[in-house]
Amino acid sequence: MKLRKVTAAAATALVLSLTATACGGDGKSDSADTGSGSGGGDKIKIGIKYDQPGLGLKEPDGSFSGFDVDVATYVAKELGYNEDQIEFVETKSADRENALARGDVKFIAATYSITPERQEKVDFAGPYLLAHQDLLVKADSDITEATDLNGKNLCSVTGSTSAQNVKNDFAPQANLEERSGYSECIAALQSGRVDALTTDDSILAGFAAQEQYKGQFKLAGLKLSNENYGIGVKKGDTETANKINTALEKMVSDKSWNKAVTDNFGPAKYKNEPAPKIGNIVK
């Protein structure tokens, strides 16, 4: 490649340009990660859910809580960021791939199941939790199997495949009632309008662990599907994915992972699976 001479002014401009774009690693500005995380005031944007108690919840005072939040915070610290440098961004399920592609966030920890279809669009670190589709029922319920739902009222969120899976595979005579959010299903279950709520057991445990529901509900303990939660990164960003995997391994080895499970799901007596090995996707 031929080089041409540049003036001192042009050289200075070139240095400034390189300095301004260095954080992107590929010459492009990365709005989700504005620096190295060395404690100098830089920020990292992380996608989470805002409405899932026990996993990703924005509290009334503006703080955040949940297992995904704890995992994301631990990972960010291992990447070199202090807690006050983390900016959590609400990332709804339907927009996760687009948020990563646009660079809105550096990574996403939001009950993000690793699937072949999603792996075509994003890269994943993890998995960091193996969840299963389950049922949440009242504490005194006699529902112990999915087949017990025949003739009963089953609630799930509009657009979810969980309830349809139950009807197709286990209880074709179940009466499906759809709500716009899990909180509405919980209210319906609490009042007796429905007999069960279905989705991932981690989500169900998060709701059941809330103080206002303490002792009212229980998980049936079924494993109707395997959901391998991963941390999504922009397609091709293997460097970040590898760093996150290293952080997740450390989180497991120093017992911080176990503590996060107990802190967020303990009151629901959630019988979680052991921490999965990195790259081990359970079919």
Domains of the chain: 27-131+227-268 (3.40.190.10), 133-219 (3.40.190.10)
Contacts for 68 with CB less than 8 Å, ≥ 6 apart: 48, 49, 52, 55, 56, 109, 110, 111, 229
pLDDT of residue 181: 85
Q: Looking at the DSSP assignment, which residues form a beta bridge with residue 226?
A: none
CA distances from 23 to 28, 30, 170, 238 (A): 8, 7, 51, 16
**DSSP-derived pairing of the beta strands 227-234 and 107-108:** antiparallel
pLDDT by residue (tens digit) across 109-139? 999 999 999 999 999 999 999 999 999 999 9
Report the distance separating Cα 151 and Cα 235, nearest Å.
Answer: 45
- Per residue in 129-187, pLDDT (tens digit) is 999 999 999 999 999 999 999 999 999 988 677 888 899 999 999 999 999 888 899 99
Q: What is the mean pLDDT of residues 235-249?
A: 98
Q: Which of 188, 224, 190, 186 is nearest to 205 (CA)?
A: 186
Q: Residues with Cβ < 8 Å from 96, sequence gap 6 or more?
A: 47, 108, 110, 112, 122, 232
- pLDDT value, residue 100: 98
Residue 37 pLDDT grade (very low, low, confident, very high; cuts 50, 70, 90): low
CA dihedral angle for residue 43, residue 46, residue 50, residue 55, rounded to 10 degrees: -120
Q: Name the packing angle between helices 67-78 and 238-253 (round to 10°).
A: 110
Examine the pLDDT at 25 and tell me if it is beyond 80.
Answer: no
Contact between 203 and 182 (Cβ < 8 Å): yes
**DSSP letters spanning 16-71:** HHHHHHGGGSSSS--TTB-S--SSSS--EEEEE-SEETTTEEE-TTS-EESHHHHH
Question: What is the average per-residue pLDDT within 231-251?
Answer: 98
Grouping H, G, I as helix, E, B as strand and the rest as coil, residue 209 is coil
